[in-house]
Amino acid sequence: MAEASFHFPHGFIWGTATSSHQVEGNNTNNNWYAWEQQGHIVQNQKAGLACDWWGGRWREDFDRAADAKQNAHRLSLEWSRIQPARERWDEDALDHYREMVRNLRDRNMTPVVTLQHFTEPLWITEMGSWENSDVVAHFAAYVARAVEALREYVDTWVTINEPNVLTFSGYVIGDFPPGKNSLGTAMRVITNIVRAHAAAYAEIHKLQPAANVGVSHYFRHLQPAHAWSPLDRMVTRWQSAIFNELVPNALHTGVLNFLGRKKRIPEARGTQDYFGIDYYTSDRVAFSLLRPGELFGHRSPPEGAELSDTGFIANVPEGLFQAIRWSMQFKLPIIITENGIEDAEDSLRPQYLAEHIQQMWRAVNFNWPVRGYFYWTLVDNFEWERGWTQRFGLWELDPDSQARRRRPSVDFYAQICRENRLSSEMVAKYAPAILEKMFPG
């Protein structure tokens, strides 16, 4: 075995990512709470207490992250707590979030704050949510209020988490609220989301001229199931153009280009200070007349790829490198804002971590401007329409007792964070099965 290390630049960001509804508990005034009550979650599960962060257990979880040598944490604000009604603001909620980000600073951790992570107040839902163009002004007002309250401690912001997932899951596939199936509606929604981001970007920079503002883009690495098939290649291009490229290109050029149908949104042009990538998995895409809602492309895991517990994620580390390479066209600093795998037994996670971090190092070694990495997630949490059936946490959570249990990957990731490198010695200890593959003799 060759002994070697993959070193990262001084000041590299190492952290974990969370979102408010998934960890806080007892969020009863947003669209996801209503969606849960309607029975849309697998096994009719509910978020309930979640990880009890609103009850104060964020303190012990922040301690766990700090003890594990993470130097940053990405968290989100709950719009429905801060603005529970159209004309009402809750200063106590803002104080709560101010205390959280201040405590991250006290632990020498940099807070990265997401302003909208899939959830919205019920009063926004009642006015038509993202289908109603009035949402743009309401979102901008909320952003201004939140940034004004937290700017003493926060200077890196994610305006909207995964606009493509928010749109396609809510308005095309229908497994997110409001559960619609309409490409036409989806285009109206994505237009309003892009405008809302642009308005938020402007508001943040009025208050914090030197702020770093961006969007976390969900990138799904897509390849034709049969490289020789022109139909497979065609639908792969279609899906990538809509799912991966639509929003990033709009924020770069000010033009939303839906397979040749163009809508100009000039205020959106150049409204990112960094490029956020959420990458988990890759798919093969095959032409199928049975999938009109997915642009006639059927997605499936790459042949031979190791799969997560429920088959939701295929371990394809090369896809992260491809995501970074693709994002280089935007000429921005890059942050991996999410990357992770469900793995209740923590058997595949060490390998997944090692191989994905190696691929990120490949990009760094090309002198590509990758600035940081956030693993999803710190503690098992409520995984949206999949409820408690998927366990992404470095720490295991029992939702009933709220007990946390340390998984071995905690120590693996802690050593990477502490030493700012990935070494053959670490892989030999935590993921020995891939040692020869990663460090061939």
pLDDT at 2: 67
CA nearest 113: which of 123, 126, 104?
Answer: 104
pLDDT at 82: 98
pLDDT at 153: 98
pLDDT at 295: 79
What are the residue ranges of helices labelled H in 78-182? 79-82, 91-106, 122-126, 135-150, 163-168
Question: In the chain, what percentage of residues exceed pLDDT 90?
Answer: 95
Residues 325-383 have pLDDT tens digits of 999 999 999 999 999 999 999 999 999 999 999 999 999 999 999 999 999 999 999 99
List residues bridging with 404 in a β-sheet. 397
Tally the C-alpha atoms within 13 A of residue 256's C-alpha that lie toward its C-beta: 20
CA triplet 22, 26, 31: central angle to 5 degrees? 70
List residues bridging with 286 in a β-sheet. 298
Distances (CA, A) of 71 to 11, 64, 77, 100: 9, 12, 20, 15
pLDDT at 296: 86
Q: What is the DSSP pairing of strand 334-338 with strand 370-375?
A: parallel
132 by DSSP, 3-state: which?
A: coil
pLDDT at 1: 57
Tally the C-alpha atoms within 13 A of residue 29's C-alpha that lie toward its C-beta: 13
- Residue type at 120 in one-letter notation: E
User: Which residue numbers in the chain have pLDDT < 50?
Assistant: none
Domains in the chain (CATH in brackets) are 5-438 (3.20.20.80)
Residues 107-120 have pLDDT tens digits of 999 999 999 999 99
pLDDT at 291: 83
Does this model's pTM top 0.95? My answer is yes
